[in-house]
Structure 1
């Protein structure tokens, strides 16, 4: 009788320990950030750090406050960048997954297209930015084209690798139990390949954002990249550093969000 309460208490204690560990880790990160920005602020005020090269944390925070809550112009630029990122990610990922599935089902198709895809993938994508600008203009379509071109090949490679990495024992056992080819694909092959595919999707989303921001820096009407290029040309280092921190925070949110989505989709494992 006494064993049941003891066993029932073990998961709760484990959960409390995990929560305590996460809280301690968050506290350490917070203390590090306070010390880092505090020293940076002190160095800027004391003249040890040149503000024209490094900026000043208090002015960086003030720039973000004004941009979001006083002028409000950063909301528009952020919206353009996020729209280009997610549209290019969806287009590139959908095309890559469909083509990757086709490659694994019809290997002759892969052998026929592989030389051409290899040549296109070897091209430096940012060198193609002027072409995208000529073809699609200064607006959002050229940024979507750049982001799609970066995310497509990453997701494609991971899709093919994930499907082909399914253990043959699973497939053999499923066939011996009478699974049809369609059941084999949907119930064995695709679920087993999801972790590898999601690794490609996480990278694909990051590279979509990098492609969109990079294209905005080269030439654009709106977007964080265009604002970043403008601030740099005017030697506004506080604004430049503010947007760099904003982009870094966006990248972290994107990665964490994709990781949570992956855990939710794989909760059956």
Structure 2
């Protein structure tokens, strides 16, 4: 009990420190804008950011729609990229020669600056969400593929040999030994892959898109609406934080047996 109390005290203390720091920082920022020391056109203001979010999320539904557009593309890119990567990892594990043959091509594609592919995806799939999904897919696939291969190959071979000796079938070995032991490494790739799927979608939206938070950021920046740009950047930062937290909680739940 004393340990728990101490932990809660430290947690509340950290929260309080963050609240004080942010209050001072935002207060000084707003004061500097009011005094004319900082040009609001280029740096925005805390009150302006709050009003933009209030108008977009509470007084209207426009930002909700743009957020849903970006999230839809992110989830689609993540699911498609992760499934394809895990299937490819299973193929490579069972056919090492195929992996060795494909490695130079995959390395070349993975080393390519993916943002340079956006114009090509737009040409192929148009300005809609499909080109954004394609961009997010390319980022997610390689991250999850490397973690899935590493996770499956990192399983203790003694456990696999023991299961085979006991007469377990390949499917049983995979579901009872290989997959559970590979989950921690695979999940690290999945967590990072989801964040990169979001980055890919938002980045491609900034370049050219019909909808989405990235398209809104590009438009607001072109009209010198810095309050809107900073507000949406804060939304994206909060969204990425929630994604990391949610994936961490899911990983903890799946590994509760350890």
TM range (shorter): over 0.9
| Distance in 2, Cα, partners of 1:101 & 1:24 | 47
1:231 to 211, 220, 237: 220
Alignment correspondent of 2:205: 216
Describe the superposition over 1:161-208 as per-residue Cα deviations: whole angstroms up to 9, x where unpaired.
111112233333433444333222211111111011010011100100
**2:252 aligned with 1:253, yes or no?**
no
Alignment correspondent of 2:72: 83
| Distance in 2, Cα, partners of 1:41 & 1:234 | 22
| Distance in 1, Cα, partners of 2:230 & 2:243 | 20
2:233 to 244, 248, 255: 244
Gapped runs of 5+ residues in structure 2? none
| Correspondence 1:1-269 to 2 at 5 A | 12-269=1-258
> What SS does the corresponding residue of 2:168 show, helix, strand or coil?
coil
| Distance in 2, Cα, partners of 1:30 & 1:262 | 29
Q: Find runs of 4+ consecutive structure 1 residues off by over 6 angstroms.
A: none
The structural deviation recorded for 1:13 is: 4.4
| Distance in 2, Cα, partners of 1:174 & 1:28 | 52
Describe the superposition over 1:26-45 as per-residue Cα deviations: whole angstroms up to 9, x where unpaired.
22222222222122212222
C-alpha change, 1:173 and 1:23, in structure 2 (3 Å) is: farther
Gapped runs of 5+ residues in structure 1? 1-11
The structural deviation recorded for 1:54 is: 1.2
The structural deviation recorded for 1:148 is: 0.6
Provide the alpha-carbon RMSD of the alignment. Answer: 1.5
| Distance in 2, Cα, partners of 1:72 & 1:108 | 53
| Distance in 2, Cα, partners of 1:150 & 1:174 | 36
| Distance in 2, Cα, partners of 1:123 & 1:131 | 14
| Distance in 1, Cα, partners of 2:150 & 2:20 | 41
Paired positions, count = 258
